[in-house]
Amino acid sequence: MSQDLVEPETKTFVEVALTLGGKSEEESRKTGTLDRADEQVEEMFATRYQTAHSPIHRAIWDHYLPVELFQPEPAKVPEDCQRAMDASMAVVRRHIAAGTLFDENRKIADRVFKDLASAGYWGLLVDREYGGLGTPFQAFAQFLTKMATIDATVAGLASVHGCIGAVDPLRTFGNSEQKSRYLPKLAAGDRLSAFALTEPAAGSDLTALKTTARLEGDNYIVDGEKLFITNAIPGRTVGLVCLIGGKPAVLIADLPDHEDEHFQLVKYGLYALKHSYNNGLRFRGFKVPKENLLRATRGDGLTIAYHGLNLGRVALCANAAGTMRSMMANMLPWSDFRRTYGAKIGSRELVRRRIGRLAALIAGCDALVSWCSWLLDQGYRGEMECIIAKIFGSEAQKEAAIELFMKTHGGRAFLHGHMFGDNVHEYLAPCIYEGEGEILGMGFFKSLVKDHGKTFFEPIGHALVKSGIRTPNPLNPAHAWALKDAALPYAKWRLGEMFTGNRQTEWPQLPENLKAHAEFADRGLAAGRIEISKTMSKHQLKLADRQCRMSELSQRLQDLVVILATSLWAAKQSSPLIQDAADILCQDLTRKLTGKRPSDSYFRAVTKLGEAIEAGGFEDIAGITPEKILMPYDQEPPKDA
């Protein structure tokens, strides 16, 4: 009998399901490795903050909606943090005005990094005891949106350094000596950081890592290659993921100031991230002191690698919210200038609809950033919530760039020097950053079904393994008998669901239109648990191969969460225009879910919103300087000869 049938209790539910579903032992083992790493990250959090007790999980699986967990409190910003943020924005504005933001390679100049260090920029997320400012993440994330309206690359580098670089791994997993040795330098900007995880053959499949480190005396000797590492140049400090004894580990490595025989950059052309350095790293006998090994209380290097991703996903959404504000600030002057058939295009319904839709996408990003960052500050892992922020933010920015910004500017969008033409890859690349959207969507689905699967389906899977049944058939008496004890709890759960009435949610005071959206989302999420369970029952051991079904169902649930989070967030906003923008987004997502066509009242609402923004009603873009209109023309008609 094969090993997978001998010791089922040593395998995760995912491994058992994949093995019984006909997957190879290698695929089952590798997937199980990632699943165990995920469980080890879970164990770092108190039970009440784990995924099974998260707002989304409870909104779907519980018989009541925890409304209070979808209503973030306003961000609290300590005075010294605010001063550092204001000073940092002033630094970037000053360099832009002086034409000194970039170096000779059109990358962010070293002088800018140093001036930002003096302002306290790089220490925003470092704890105060190590020389940082200990900024609450909610305040930090909302600040990134403001910084992104000035320069999105500078905003992104704050996330690279503080969220997914070396700062978070050291704060979370470093011992006191490692923290004391590194965090003050990282806070002061003496060392900027990156995270070296991706390899030529290891992206979403982190079990394919090949970079190794072996202990020789007082040093680990590293051999291998990393790829697509942002902020990776000589002199940086990186969290280096490698294999030690065949298991993933993380070393804090100081890259030397110059390339040598042990360390070289791997340079390549990259359309995105054009104003920051993105390189591969090649190590040949590269030494890292053994005391630089980070140790997780439970788990290994994958546990450490996974931990900071949620911060980066929220930061990505925050950056998108700022970038789309810049798009709007540049759409309005053009819509006012450009005339067709004697009238400004800003007076046309189609353009007003685009402006209204853009405001709706911004409102959604703002809502998700506020909500997810608040949850992280409260102590939640936030896995599913932050995945939604990443997917929505990146897809919103993509739509805004192509469907709204580019189409409104027409052919001028492709001119050299135009904001779209010069940045199109920057607008699209976030769909890949921090995990490609549909892959993350399946990760969202896995996180959502895992507890239900372990409770009800894992016992059935182990019973199948024990009995040697590969293809269960409930009509086969022998199969039914072998599974009777394991299947009974699930049968009771399904029976109980049949007699459970609609949940009665107690809503706070909400505008009627936003309350209607929240109620729609509530009903959809409550119904989701039955559809999820039926999907698991229908596809059983083949569910892992039903990627299209998982992705589609995952996206519908994500859309419902966005409606719920946006409507509740908007109800707390004082601006009627922002509430109108949130209403438009919720209407758009509802139609996407129901398949209904837009009504005339919807078109009136979205174009009215666009008209109000045209008239200067969107205060959030105040202070953003639009770029000059390229190739302007004489608007006056030619005079008769």
Q: Domain residues of the chain, as ranges?
A: 3-70+439-567, 79-188, 193-302
**Angle, helices 547-570/437-452, rounded to nearest 10 degrees:** 90
**135-155 pLDDT, tens per residue?**
999 999 999 999 999 999 999
Question: For the chain, what is the mean pLDDT?
Answer: 91
Paired strand residues for 289: 219
Q: What is the pLDDT of residue 476?
A: 81
435: left (phi over 0), alpha (psi -120 to 50) or beta: left
Describe the crossing of helices 349-378 and 137-150 by its angle, rounded to 10 degrees: 150
Chain centre distance of CA 520? 25
- The answer to whether 181 touches 252, Cβ cutoff 8 Å, is no
- Distances in Å between the alpha carbon of 171 and those of 44, 71, 128, 302, 316? 14, 28, 11, 16, 21
List CB contacts of 272: < 8 A, sequence separation 6 or more.
278, 425, 426, 428, 429
Distance from the first to the final alpha carbon of the chain: 98
Q: For residue 572, how many other CB atoms are within 10 A of its CB?
A: 16
What CA–CA distance (Å, rounded) separates 495 from 485?
Answer: 16
Predicted confidence band at 360 (pLDDT cuts at 50, 70, 90)?
Answer: very high
Alpha carbons 326 and 317: distance in angstroms, whole number:
14
CB atoms within 10 A of CB 604: 11
Predicted pLDDT of residue 486: 82
Q: Higher confidence at residue 353 or residue 641?
A: 353
Q: Report strand pairing: 263-266 vs 237-244.
A: unpaired
Q: Report the C-alpha gap between 487 and 467 in whole angstroms.
A: 14
Q: How far apart are CA 640 and CA 428, in angstroms?
A: 48
Percentage of residues of the chain with pLDDT beyond 90: 76
Q: What is the mean pLDDT of residues 408-416?
A: 96
CA–CA gap between residue 584 and residue 367 (Å, rounded): 14
Query: What whole-number distance in Å separates Cα of residue 589 and Cα of residue 606?
Result: 14
The answer on pLDDT for 18 being more than 80 is: no
Non-local (6+) Cβ contacts of 129 within 8 A are: none
Task: Kindly state the percentage of the chain with pLDDT values over 70.
Answer: 93
Considering the four listed CATH numbers 3.20.20.70, 2.40.110.10, 3.40.50.300, 3.20.20.370, the one that applies to the domain covering 193-302 is 2.40.110.10
193-196 and 278-289 as β-strands: parallel, antiparallel, unpaired?
Answer: unpaired
**Residue of 563 and 27 predicted with greater confidence:** 563
Evaluate if residue 23 carries a pLDDT over 70: no
Instruction: Give 47-73 pLDDT, tens digit per residue.
Output: 999 999 999 999 999 999 999 999 999
Half-sphere exposure (CA, 13 Å, Cβ side) for 477?
A: 0
Q: Which residues lie closer than 8 Å to 132 by C-beta, 6 or more apart?
A: 123, 124, 125, 126, 183, 187
Question: pLDDT band for position 35 (50/70/90)?
Answer: confident
525 in helix, strand or coil? helix
Strand-pair partners of 108: 102
Mean pLDDT lowest among 12-16, 328-332, 557-561: 12-16
Q: Averaged over 142-170, what is the pLDDT?
A: 96
| Helix count and strand count (H, E) for the chain | 23, 10
Give the pLDDT band of residue 208 (cuts 50, 70, 90).
confident
Using an 8 Å Cβ cutoff, are 262 and 285 in contact?
A: yes
Confidence of residue 471 (pLDDT cuts 50, 70, 90): confident
Fold of 79-188: Butyryl-Coa Dehydrogenase, subunit A; domain 1 (1.10.540)
Residue 512, Cα to own-chain centre: how many angstroms? 31
**pLDDT above 60: residue 3:** no
- Its sign, for the CA torsion 170, 219, 228, 278, is positive
Q: Give 498 or 194, the one with higher predicted confidence.
A: 194
Please tell me the distance from the alpha carbon of residue 319 to that of residue 491, in angstroms, as a whole number. Answer: 46
Query: Which stretch of DSSP H or E encloses residue 195?
Result: strand 193-196
Report the C-alpha gap between 166 and 290 in whole angstroms.
17
Confidence tier at 264 by pLDDT (50, 70, 90) = very high
What secondary structure does DSSP assign to 309-322, as a single string? Answer: HHHHHHHHHHHHHH
Instruction: Please give the angle made by the CA atoms of 251, 386 and 141, to the nearest 5 degrees.
Output: 80
pLDDT of residue 465: 75
Q: Is the pLDDT of residue 204 over 80?
A: no
Tell me the two tokens of residue 259.
């390339």
**pLDDT at residue number 19:** 53
Higher pLDDT, 634 or 13: 634
Whether 9 shows a pLDDT value over 50: the answer reads: no
Q: What is the pLDDT of residue 388?
A: 98
Confidence grade of residue 638 (pLDDT, cut at 50, 70, 90): low
Going 548 to 395 to 308 to 58, the CA torsion angle's sign is negative
Q: What is the pLDDT of residues 100-118, one digit of tens each?
A: 999 999 999 999 999 999 9
β-pair partners for 286: 222
pLDDT at 299 over 60: yes
Q: What is the DSSP string of 94-143?
A: HHHHHT-SB-TTSSB-HHHHHHHHHHTGGGTTS-GGGTS----HHHHHHH
Please say if the pLDDT value at position 235 is more than 70.
Answer: yes
Report which of residues 538 and 371 the model is more confident about. 371
* CA-wise closest residue to 327 among 302, 295, 298, 354: 354
- What the block records as the tokens of 239 is 């969290």
Question: Chain-centre distance of CA 405, in angstroms?
Answer: 23
Quote the CA–CA distance of 129 and 126 in Å, as a whole number.
8
Give residue 167's pLDDT.
95
What's the confidence (pLDDT) of residue 641? 46
Instruction: State both tokens at 115.
Output: 């001036």
Tell me how far apart the alpha carbons of residues 196 and 165 are, in angstroms, rounded to a whole number: 8
Segment holding 578, helix H or strand E: helix 576-594
Q: pLDDT tier at 479 (50, 70, 90 boundaries)? A: confident
10-14, 72-76, 339-343, 636-640 — which is least confidently predicted? 10-14
- Would you give the distance in Å from CA 13 to the centre of its chain? 26
Q: What is the mean pLDDT of residues 159-172?
A: 94
Q: Model confidence at 127, in pLDDT bands (50, 70, 90)?
A: very high
Confidence of residue 434 (pLDDT cuts 50, 70, 90): confident
pLDDT at 636 (0 to 100): 67
3-state helix, strand, coil in the chain (%, to 5): 60, 10, 30
Q: Which two tokens stand for residue 599?
A: 């009504």
CB 43 within 8 A of CB 298: yes
- pLDDT tier at 1, thresholds 50, 70, 90: very low
Please state the pTM of the whole predicted model. 0.93
Per-position b or e across 108-119, b if 16+ CB within 10 A of its CB: bbeebbebbbeb
**301 confidence band (pLDDT: 50, 70, 90):** confident
Beta-sheet pairing, 343-344 with 263-266: unpaired
3-state secondary structure 340-376: ECCEEHHHCHHHHHHHHHHHHHHHHHHHHHHHHHHHH
